[in-house]
Every structure is written in C-alpha cells, then in structure tokens.
Amino acid sequence: MEVRVRIAPSPTGFFHVGTARTALFNYLFARQNKGKFLVRIEDTDIERSEKKYEEDILSELKWLGLEADEEILKQSDRTEIYKKYLHNLVEKNLAYKCFCTKEDLDTVRQSQMVAGMAPKYNGKCAALTKEEIKVKEVASEAYVFRLRVPEQKITFSDLIRGEVTFDGALIGDIVIAKSDENVLYNFAVVVDDYEMKISHVIRGEDHISNTPKQIFIGEALGFSRPQYAHLPLILDSKRAKLSKRFAAVSVADYREQGYLPEPFLNFLGLLGWHPKEDREILSALEMIAEFNLERVQKGGAIFNVEKLDWLNQQYIKNLSNEKLLELLGKEINEKNLKIIDLVKERLVKLSDYELLIGFFFAVPDYERELLVWKDGGLEKAREVLEKLLALQKLDKESVMALCETFGNGPVLWPLRVALSGSKASPGPFEILEVLGEGEARNRLQIAYNKI
C-alpha cells in the first residue's frame, strides 16, 4: 500500500504553529515511507474562510519547505462530488432529512441533561414517511441531512494511543449537511480522504472525537478505513493549550521576528517527538531518517520559546557572513562584513541585527553615569577620556599603554561606552576598527562633553 498523507488546514486564520507541526509530522512520515505528502484547503466554512488566509498557509508551507507532491485541492471546488455521495446515502436510506428546529433540539437536549443522559439527537425525524417529508418540503420547512448512526461500539487502532473505543449509542444521528450544496466538515473530510486515497490520517488529538463520526460516515459510504494517529497538543509553559496570550501562534509571526525555517522546523520536530539519541539539532534529512510514530509521546508538548531561540542562534552562528548579510538584505561589502562578524555571535533572531548594529551608524543617547567604571566616579572617567583624546594615535597599542597607568577596566570601559553608547556591545578595539579613528574621536569628545 502506498503511503499517502495530507495536511488539511482551514483558511479561517493565519497558519498556526500547531498546524505547522502536524504538517511536518505528515511530511516526515511520507518521506520516510517513500510516500506522498498532500495539501487540501478545507474552505467549506464560507463565512469565515478568506483568500488572505489561504495565501498565508501556502506561503508558510513553502517557507518551511513542506510543499505538496500533487495538486492542491480546495473543498469549495468539490461541491458536486459531495452532492453525489450525499444523495447516494439518502437513496440507500442511510441518511435522511431532519426538520427539527433549533428550539426543538434545545428542549430535548435540556431534558436529557436533566435526566443525566448523554445529549444526542432523539431520532424524531428518522422515521418520517415520504409523504410526511413531502408535506414539510412543500411548506418550505428548513431541514438538514443526518446520518443514521448505528447504536454499536466502534474501535479503531490509533498508531500513537493504541485501541480507542466509542459507543455509537451515545453519539446519535449526526448532521452531515445543511443542504445538498453545503456539506459539513466531517462528511467532506471522509469523501476527500477516500478520493485522495489517504492511507494515514495524522492529526492533532483535538480531532479524536471526530474520528468515530468519520468512521461511521465512511462505513455507510462503503469506504475502506485509513489508519489514524493523533498527535499531542502543543501546550504553553503552564500546560495550557497554546494561545496568543502566551506567545505568537502563527508561523508568519515567527518568520517576521527573524527565525530561520531550518531551526523552526527543527524545533517543531521536537514538539512531542524525539530521536533515539536525545540530540537537539537535527536537519530535515536527519529527522526523515529517524522519524517514527512510535516515538511520538501521548502527553502534551511544551512550547519552549527559549529552546527555539537557542536553536535559531546555533543555526545563525553556522551561516557564512555573506549568507547572513544576504538574508538580512544587506550589501556585501567590507564594512558590513566587519560589522556582521562582530555581532553574529550575539544574534538570536535576524530582527536583532538592527538593534545590535545601530550604534555603528549613530551613537545613541545615554546617561553620563554609564561612562563610570564600577565605583571610579565621574571625575576619574573624565580624566581617562581626556587622556584618550590626547593620544597622538588612537589605536590598540596606545590605549593599552594607557591601561598600564590606569588599569584595563577604568580605560576600556569608558572607551567602549563612548564608542557604542551601550554597556553591552563588542569590544572597543573591534568597534574602533569599524568606525575609524576620526569617528571614534568624535564620539570620545561627545562623552567628554557629557561629563
């Protein structure tokens, strides 16, 4: 059997990191098994689906290198296909029109809950005759289509969680379409997976309650059952479901912050899965070679931003200076190469670059007290700055000679602050080399004037 898996996001919001993790696990599984990774856009929710979200999904999948092996399908293009399968169920009396109003359903649900029963549809319209249905249609009564769900237990083998059992008697007849032009999620998913020849459905555990419904729909249609694997949810540091209150949740957010696709994929791959040897840095090819659903954990995966930052920093350190400047959109010239060499070790994200190098182009404003080395006082700092300005040549040799009189800290600290305007920056001699002596003297004079 050919392995065929899919990622099926809904274009009702920007591409979520949880969906990206699911896409990656599907991609790794397909590649390891020499199968196909497919993409389907589930845009049946007409009111909430937007083109901008669809474009974002496809853009971020491309950025991550998770592109589909076959043509991308859109559910909005498949109405006639769904209609054919829906009518087939109605003709076989496996589905029926339900004319119950919302008020009717709410009343039944409340009475069931008061009686301590599981709320489900009571089957009121399941036995309507053709004549009764015709009368209601002539009266233009609104209706939905319901699937006749057998009152029996159904068990499926989850490749991560083992055997899972649901009782159809507790589910009741489920709505599968609002009209023959508007089928609902569970019905469309089953038809699509069958027509796309999906062999394995790998998705988040929040979908596990949909699985028995989809199995019942598939069996009614006579479809073979795919294998299921439900991934753990991604949780924040407090073990709550990942939300915007905790961190950015769209892939675009992280991309814009300056994370690279390779460490981001690396990070996603370790959310709920780990290789045999607990290595932290893994390329896509290494993850493909080692990925195994048996090593996917059942419990929630903690989203650790600090770990993502560390991974991103390691990848940045391993880039050539030229490649890094290219990613930053900077000209590759002698000055920029010197600057990137100075700040590269401190870059966590690409967006940090402008903050780290801004002082090379304009010294920021700072308080004069910053020029003071430990408890040396302003007068001591003023004296050192005066001596630095008096040097015939402002270079490392001359400065270090001054250090023999005043000490390293009392000389190098105010020099570095004067040149960078910051207490955290590259060393003073590295900055001096980039700025040049003329600009360095200007900055020393500004520092001296502050005192």
Contact between residue 219 and residue 152 where contact means Cβ atoms under 8 Å apart = no
Order of strands across the sheet that contains 73-74: 4-7, 36-41, 73-74
Provide the residue type at 245 as one letter.
R
- Residues ≥6 apart with Cβ < 8 Å to 280: 270, 307, 310, 311
The pair of structure tokens assigned to 437 is 């002596």
- Of 168, 149, 97, nearest to 127 by C-alpha is 97
Measured CA to CA, the distance from residue 41 to residue 10 in angstroms comes to 6
From first CA to last CA, the distance across the chain in angstroms is 79
| Structural domains in the chain plus CATH codes | 4-73+186-235 (3.40.50.620), 79-183 (3.90.800.10), 251-317 (1.10.1160.10), 321-356 (no CATH), 368-450 (1.10.10.350)
Q: What is the mean pLDDT of residues 369-396?
A: 93
Q: How far is residue 426 from each of residues 214, 420, 434, measured CA to CA in Å?
A: 60, 9, 11
Of 55-59, 105-109, 248-252, 443-447, least confident by mean pLDDT is 248-252
Residue 292 pLDDT: 92
Measured CA to CA, the distance from residue 361 to residue 439 in angstroms comes to 10
Strands (E), 232-286: 234-235
Measured CA to CA, the distance from residue 54 to residue 45 in angstroms comes to 13
Give the SS3 label for residue 89.
helix
Measured CA to CA, the distance from residue 385 to residue 371 in angstroms comes to 9
Residue 61 pLDDT: 98
How many alpha carbons lie under 13 Å from residue 57 in its C-beta half-sphere?
Answer: 25
Q: What angle do CA 366, 371, 375 make, to 5 degrees?
A: 130
Which value, in Å, is the radius of gyration of the alpha carbons in the chain? 32
* Burial class for 170, CB neighbours closer than 10 Å (0-12, 13-18, 19+): middle
Where is 125: in which H helix or E strand? none
- Residues ≥6 apart with Cβ < 8 Å to 436: none
Using one digit for the tens of pLDDT, what is the confidence trace for 139-154?
A: 999 999 999 999 999 9
Measured CA to CA, the distance from residue 302 to residue 314 in angstroms comes to 21
Measured CA to CA, the distance from residue 408 to residue 65 in angstroms comes to 50
Measured CA to CA, the distance from residue 236 to residue 228 in angstroms comes to 26
Res 47 pLDDT > 90: no
Using one digit for the tens of pLDDT, what is the confidence trace for 82-118?
A: 999 999 999 999 999 999 999 999 999 999 899 888 8
Measured CA to CA, the distance from residue 24 to residue 16 in angstroms comes to 12
Contact between residue 226 and residue 39 where contact means Cβ atoms under 8 Å apart = no
- Of 269, 283, 254, 310, nearest to 60 by C-alpha is 254
User: Looking at the annotation, which residues are catalytic?
Assistant: 244
Measured CA to CA, the distance from residue 179 to residue 86 in angstroms comes to 10
The pair of structure tokens assigned to 153 is 């237990």
- For 344, other C-beta atoms within 10 Å of its C-beta total 17
Using one digit for the tens of pLDDT, what is the confidence trace for 165-221?
A: 999 999 999 999 999 999 999 999 999 999 999 999 999 999 999 999 999 999 999
Which band of pLDDT confidence, cut at 50, 70 and 90, is reported for residue 241? confident
Contact between residue 330 and residue 361 where contact means Cβ atoms under 8 Å apart = no
Contact between residue 213 and residue 190 where contact means Cβ atoms under 8 Å apart = no
Which band of pLDDT confidence, cut at 50, 70 and 90, is reported for residue 246? low
The DSSP symbol for 123 reads -
Using one digit for the tens of pLDDT, what is the confidence trace for 325-337?
A: 999 999 999 999 9
Contact between residue 285 and residue 264 where contact means Cβ atoms under 8 Å apart = no
Measured CA to CA, the distance from residue 121 to residue 315 in angstroms comes to 55
Measured CA to CA, the distance from residue 120 to residue 173 in angstroms comes to 8
- Residues ≥6 apart with Cβ < 8 Å to 58: 39, 72
Measured CA to CA, the distance from residue 46 to residue 296 in angstroms comes to 35
Q: Mean pLDDT over all residues of the chain?
A: 94
